[in-house]
Amino acid sequence: MVLAQAATALRQLLGEVEAALERLLRGEYGRCEVCEGEISPARLEAVPWAARCIGCAEVRRR
């Protein structure tokens, strides 16, 4: 069911975007939630709602 998959993916994305917005309002935007390091500006430009730096995001994917 393509539509059900799309709905799931969109809800997850919405949650990530809202979390990023909350971090921004708290002044914590751009900080990795795992290692607390800075997320690179290039990554934030590509994925503005990224919660993890590229290193931590890749670990999670494996």
- Considering the complex, state which of residue 6 and residue 28 has its C-beta at the smaller distance from Zn ion: 28
- Judge whether 53 and 32 are in contact, CB under 8 Å: yes
User: Is position 53 an interface residue for Zn ion (rule: CB under 5 A)?
Assistant: yes
Distance CA 34, CA 40 (A): 14
Among 29, 31, 34, 43, binds Zn ion (CB under 5 A): 34
CA quadruple 22, 28, 34, 40: dihedral sign: positive
Please identify, among the stretches 8-16, 17-25, 47-55, the one whose residues bind Zn ion according to the rule CB under 5 A.
47-55
Among 20, 30, 50, 56, binds Zn ion (CB under 5 A): 56
